[in-house]
Amino acid sequence: MKTAIDNSCKNNEENHILNDEAYFSRINAGLARFLDASPDAFHATENMKNLLEDNGFTRLLEGRKWDLSSGGSYYVTRNDSALIAFRLPEGKPAGFQIIASHCDSPMLKIKPNAEITVENTYVKLNVEKYGGMILSPWMDRPLSVSGRITVNTADGVETRLVNIDRDLLVIPNLAIHMDRTLNDGYKFNPQVDMLPLFSDMGGAGKFMETVAEAAGVSESDILDTDLFLYDRTKAARVGLNGEFILSGRLDDLQCAYASLMGLIDSTPGANAAVHCVFDNEEVGSGTKQGAASTFLRDVLRRINLLTGGDEEDWLCSVQNSFMVSADNAQAVHPNHTDKADPVNRPYLNQGIVIKYSASQKYTTDAVSGGVFRKICRKAGVPWQTYTNRSDMPGGSTLGNISATQVALNTVDVGLPQFAMHSACETAGILDTAYLAKAAEVLFSCSVSGEGDGDYRLNF
């Protein structure tokens, strides 16, 4: 590991993290556990809640009044699938240090009335695409079902998480003998090709029964569902020296986990430290729990109000704040090096990626990029730069969407990976720790700008 770490430290003035193998081991072991236990956004949020409570954070509810204490640590969720955690400084916060990521990934969602019988022989499930997913990797591998259900109770309606934790489904490919064009750019039809096989006719009518059993409830008490397919492959280290991690949902649970670890390890300066994880980024963020919602703004305004601030204090604190929009980035692919920009070429295990786009799909400019580079230097971690090829449009992320609700100076970053939006993705084992350490430094310092182009950083 030391060789890889040392070789990735070309652009740093400080390197106190880079040979701390215990830190890298702790972060990577925790990431693997988090990925395996988080097959969907609901479980990811639940697992973040558990980690926060284990580290002394107190739960708040949006529908109840809050009582905040100076120096306190808190979290709040929305829709069971988005979460904001924050640590207050001693005294009134001058602003906010924020890292925003997302916990949803492209998946296949199960439709209502899911069972379809085929020639009185098989039972398959009716599904639809969630997000811009690569379809082919979902075929011919063990799958199962997880998500959320609502249950009828004497007191009303309750939500329950469910995970059918066994190999349950498969989406079988068509044999090459039946379609010789399968290797010639086959176009998958989600309604035809992507329906998973559930059982033979002995399982007819038993899908919801299986869900109820996994949730520990009566089938008759289930009112509605938000259920998804997930790949059963566990997070694995690959490469000669285990230098890569292979797992589903690296986009964007890798950034969400790194941000969470940075918050837990931090001690806020003059600003409140805020870990924000949205849902529904993969489908445009336009939901009550997405980046276009009022979730972040509502939480920040309540913090300002409950720590003694008025409306003008709120406006001032926004200008004395800084946000990192953290969503994974495309690395140079070993088999398709021509797809990357000629000079901005991120590689696995060589640092956090700072993203730039003239079309403003990313929020980074000279000011926010400069502030983040300064933070990386202080943290002793490497960074890289990413732009799309000028003849190839790229994706967007949540930074510029959330800015419509809270107009903060923001930098877009990510961790480099291959096969984004595949059922299994590949990233570098060093990069999660790089972002976690940069997050810790960001959350522990104070960035103040007062609305002009100059920023003061107090570490």
Domain CATH for 132? 2.30.250.10
Q: Determine how β-strand 82-87 pairs with β-strand 73-78.
A: antiparallel
Does any domain span residue 243?
Answer: no
Last residue of a domain, one of 204, 231, 258: 231
Please answer whether residues 83 and 160 qualify as being in contact, where contact means their C-beta atoms are separated by less than 8 angstroms. no
Query: Of 198, 166, 153, 129, which Cα lies nearest the Cα of 39?
Result: 166
Euclidean distance between CA atoms 249 and 257, whole angstroms: 12
Among 231, 264, 288, where does a domain finish? 231
Q: Residue 16's pLDDT is what? A: 53
Q: How many residues does the chain have?
A: 459
- Quote the CA–CA distance of 231 and 425 in Å, as a whole number: 11
Residue among 296, 304, 393 nearest 78 (CA) = 296
Q: What is the model's pLDDT at position 12?
A: 45
In a domain, 45, yes or no: yes
Cα–Cα dist 217/214, whole Å: 8
Dihedral over Cα of 17, 18, 19, 23: its sign: positive
Same domain, 303 and 421: yes
Residue with structure tokens 């639809």? 128
Residues 185, 329: one domain?
no
Kindly state whether residues 312 and 333 are assigned to the same domain.
yes
Same domain, 204 and 253: no
Angle between helix axes 366-379 and 429-444 (nearest 10 degrees) is 100
Q: Residue 407: which CATH number?
A: 3.40.630.10
Distance CA 364, CA 369 (A): 6
**Are 452 and 327 found together in one domain?**
yes
Per the CB < 8 A criterion, the answer to whether 381 and 12 are in contact is yes
Q: What is the pLDDT of residue 327?
A: 96
First to last CA, the chain: 29
Based on the fold, state whether residues 324 and 437 are members of the same structural domain.
yes
> Same structural domain for residues 101 and 112?
no
In the chain, how many H helices and how many E strands? 11, 22
Number of compact structural domains in the chain: 2
Q: Is residue 273 a part of any domain in this protein?
A: yes
Coil vs helix vs strand at 229: strand
Distance in angstroms (rounded) separating the CA atoms of residues 318 and 409: 9
Question: Do residue 91 and residue 176 come from a single domain?
Answer: no
Q: Is residue 29 in a domain?
A: yes
Regions in the chain scoring below 50 on pLDDT = 1-14
Identify whether the C-beta of residue 194 lies closer than 8 Å to the C-beta of residue 138: yes
Using alpha carbons, select from 311, 315, 307 the residue that is nearest to residue 270: 307
Q: Which of 282, 262, 290 is nearest to 401 (CA)?
A: 290
Do 405 and 292 touch, CB atoms closer than 8 A? yes
User: Quick one: which of 287, 257, 243, 240 has its CA closest to 37?
Assistant: 257
Instruction: Give CA–CA dist 160/183, Å, rounded.
Output: 42
Question: What pLDDT was estimated at residue 182?
Answer: 85
Task: Let me know if residue 237 belongs to a domain.
Answer: no
Q: Which residues of 206-218 are buried (b: 16+ CB within 10 A; e: fewer)?
A: ebbebbbebbebe
- Residues 101 and 118 both lie in one domain: no
What integer pLDDT is reported at residue 302 of this predicted model? 97
**Would residue 238 count as lying in a domain?**
no
Residues 436 and 395 sit within 8 Å (Cβ to Cβ): no
Q: Answer yes or no: do 278 and 338 share one domain.
A: yes
**Peptide bond just before 165 cis, omega within 30 deg:** no
Question: Among 180, 202, 231, where does a domain finish?
Answer: 231
Phi/psi-derived region of residue 249, left when phi > 0, alpha when psi is between -120 and 50, beta in every other case? left
> How far is Cα 382 from Cα 18, in angstroms, rounded to an integer?
9
- Statement to judge: residues 183 and 132 lie in one domain: yes
Q: Which domain holds residue 386?
A: 2-105+248-458
Residues 75 and 164 in one domain: no
**212 occurs within a structural domain:** yes
**What is the pLDDT, as a whole number, of residue 451?**
65
- Domain annotation covers residue 71: yes
pLDDT score of 152: 96
Class of residue 392 by CB neighbours under 10 A (exposed 0-12, middle 13-18, buried 19+): exposed
